[in-house]
Amino acid sequence: MSEENVNGAAAPAEAATGPAFTVEKIYVKDVSFEVPNAPAVFAEAAQPQLQLNLSQNVQRVGDNAYEVVLGVTLTCTANDKPMYLAEVKQAGVFGLIGFDGQTLDAMLGTHCPNVLYPYARQLVSDLIQAGGFPPFFLQPINFDALYAEGLRQRGQGGESLADAETAGNA
């Protein structure tokens, strides 16, 4: 049974006292797509090679607000010549209230990128197809595993994502 205040409305007791996570805004911060050897690249018969790089940047923008930027760079080459380069910086502003330091760090390192990734994934796919190439879909990414590896590299007692300007490559 829910708690009621004097007016008979349900009181959000848990929401007022427990941790809270909100998505305030999701947006594209930067985008670039290049086909440096067009139109000759479309005649290439070689097997394309893909290289994916991820990066994450966390910046505090308010008392309980953080901007998280997920960078996705996809480079496609054939015969050591670039076919295309897609770069997307998908960003969001997240409200995180009431989390202890370790949980806050984990939320910024795993949950926020998980929210942003589908948007970045779709944008990269749309760019590649609009560039004249066959559709390409980035595979799901385990941000929990990437975060755990980042913790190992930081030495567990190092800098947290909430305090860092740049979290580096994921």
| pLDDT tens-digit map of 126-149 | 999 999 998 888 999 999 999 999
Lowest-pLDDT range, 26-35, 97-106, 145-154? 145-154
Residue of 58, 154, 170 lying closest to 112 (CA atoms): 58
Provide the percentage of residues in the chain whose pLDDT is more than 70: 82
- Structure confidence by residue, pLDDT tens digits, 51-70: 999 999 999 999 999 999 99
Alpha carbon distance 119, 137 (integer Å): 12
Average pLDDT for residues 99-125, to the nearest whole number?
A: 96
Burial label for 165, CB within 10 Å (0-12, 13-18, 19+), is exposed
Copy the structure tokens of residue 134.
């066959």
Quote the pLDDT of residue 163: 53
> Is this structure's pTM higher than 0.95?
no
Measured CA to CA, the distance from residue 102 to residue 96 in angstroms comes to: 13
- Average pLDDT on 107-122 reads 97
- Reduce the DSSP state of residue 41 to 3 states and report it: helix
Domains of the chain: 19-165 (3.10.420.10)
pLDDT at 119 over 90: yes
Phi-psi region of 79 (alpha: psi -120 to 50; beta: other; left: phi over 0): left
SS3 43: helix
Provide the percentage of residues in the chain whose pLDDT is more than 90. Answer: 71
Model confidence at 11, in pLDDT bands (50, 70, 90)?
A: very low
Close Cβ partners of 34 (under 8 Å, ≥ 6 residues apart): 82, 84, 85
- Both tokens assigned to 129: 């197809």
pLDDT digits (tens, 9 = 90+) for 69-78: 999 999 999 9
Flag whether pLDDT at 169 surpasses 50. Answer: no
Read off the pLDDT of each residue in 1-5 and give the average, rounded to a whole number.
47
